[in-house]
Structure 1
Amino acid sequence: MTDSLNRRQSVRVTDRVMLAIHPVSAEKMQGVAKDFQQGISPYNQEGLADIQMFIGAQSALAKLRERDADLADFLQHLDNKMNIMLKQAKGGESPLDALIMRKANISANGIAFYTDSPARLDEIVEIHVVLLPAYTYVYSFGKVIACDPVTAEDESDCKFRVALEFVFLLEEDREKIIQHTFRQQSLALRNRRINP
């Protein structure tokens, strides 16, 4: 049982995701973990409601687009307009502003990505990742296990490849990542059969 669980968690895909990474203190992560042990979801933290609202709307629009593309486009424009107005009214930055579309290699054990900013080994970071096209939001903490200069084979304009190991990830979020990696692998295999 454990071997099959480890194999499921180790399945990796390279994919485009929306990603935001912020260094945090170990105390912040421990505080979130302690709250979780007392029944408080990590998603109840201040500032995460903006991301959840945005992701929820995008997920609903993606499902609606399959049935009625014109209505989904209209609602997407309304959502964009409301987001702009809210940002102007609130002022300042929200966690949404930090989400950047980038190529990442992800599994239920960790994530690696390219960046222009170096990271320190063993540094604890807060991770916001949105898995596309379903707009599945995952919030977690990770530890930097590698930060290497980019080589010519990496095919990236960035300067560093950073690898993170998840050190705090809810089991339901781990399962969301596993399901995403399997879907993406299945899609890649189907595309190879269609376009050999």
Structure 2
Amino acid sequence: MSEEKRHHIRIYDHILLRLKPLKREEFEKKLENFREGKEKPWIDPIRPPGEVVKFESYLKRLREKDRELAGIMQILNQKLDRILIHLLGDDFLKGFQEVEANLSAGGLRVRLEEEPAVGDLYEIDLGLLPEWLFLKTFGEVVRVENCTDSECDVAFKFIWITEADQDKLVQHVFRQQVLQLQASRRVKKA
């Protein structure tokens, strides 16, 4: 599937979201530090650096040999992640809010209490449910509309996301689409 098509497949979903405004200079510094190998801004808070990459690599090779066993290993890994998240508790989930979002591999749209300006940059932490899969990306505000006294619809374009995280996001979107289609068919039959 082409990169552009992946960006247009969207769903409405409930996610965990944590936003941190960034000045353009801060973002440029993070990007520069990453290019120079000084910083990896999306290190997973529940695993040491490199562990995720190693696990994904092993899982990919296992999937080629035994798809069912790889599936079981992935489920067990997700369960261990949930246990770690539970043990870390409030420290890990601090600042996350459960929100309804229009989500794709290229960005998201959410209803926020504040009204950012188009062009503002944010560090975006996403928690995908029910998998409890956490991703970090960086986004730029591309649209602000339907503002009331207390809320606005804000659209973000992802400007920096790892390919692995984008793949996980696409898989989540497809899974949710299948579930939504199955639910709508059941409603039509009833």
TM-score (norm 2): 0.72
Question: SS state of the match for residue 6, structure 2?
Answer: helix
How far is 1:150 from its partner?
A: 4.2
| Residue equivalent to 1:194 | 186
Note the C-alpha offset of 1:181.
0.7
Aligned to 1:15, the other structure's residue is in SS state strand
> Which residue in 1 is equivalent to 2:132?
135
Answer yes or no: is the 8 Å Cα contact 2:42–2:137 preserved in 1: no
1:121 to 118, 125, 129: 118
2:5 corresponds to which residue? 7
For this pair of structures, how many residues does the alignment match?
160
C-alpha distance in structure 1 between counterparts of 2:145 and 2:168, whole Å: 28
Deviating above 4 A after TM superposition, structure 1's stretches of 4 or more consecutive aligned residues are 59-62
Q: Which residue of 2 aligns with 1:21?
A: 19
Q: In structure 1, what residue type is equivalent to 2:143?
A: A
Could you tell me how far apart the structure 2 residues matched to 1:31 and 1:173 are?
Answer: 21
Higher helix proportion (structure 1 or 2): 1
1:108-166, CA deviations, whole angstroms, 9 ceiling, x for partnerless residues? 11111001111111011110111111111111111111111347xxxxx9521000111
- Corresponding residue for residue 171 of structure 2: 179
Which letter does structure 1 place at the counterpart of 2:36? Q
RMSD over aligned CA atoms reads 3.0
SS at structure 2 position matched to 1:23:
strand
Unaligned runs of 5+ in 2: 53-74
Shift of 1:5: 2.7
Aligned-residue offset at 1:173: 1.1
- The 1:180–1:83 alpha-carbon spacing in structure 2 relative to 1, beyond 3 Å, is closer
1:24-173 alignment runs, 5 A limit:
24-39=22-37, 40-44=39-43, 49=45, 52=46, 63=79, 79=86, 83=89, 96-150=93-147, 159-173=151-165
2: CA distance between counterparts of 1:38 and 1:60? 35
Q: Is the 8 A contact 1:35 1:42 kept in 2?
A: no
User: TM (normalized to structure 1)?
Assistant: 0.70
For residue 83 of structure 1, what is the amino acid of its counterpart?
A: G
Percent of pairs with identical residues: 28
Answer yes or no: is the 8 Å Cα contact 2:119–2:140 preserved in 1: yes
Residues 7, 107 of structure 2: 8 Å contact kept? no
Name the SS for the 1:43 alignment partner: coil
Q: Cα distance 1:29–1:101, how it changes in 2: closer, same or farther (>3 A)?
A: same
1:79 and 1:179 map into 2 onto residues whose CA distance is: 24
- Superposed CA offset, 1:6-29 (max 9, x none): 112221111000001111111222
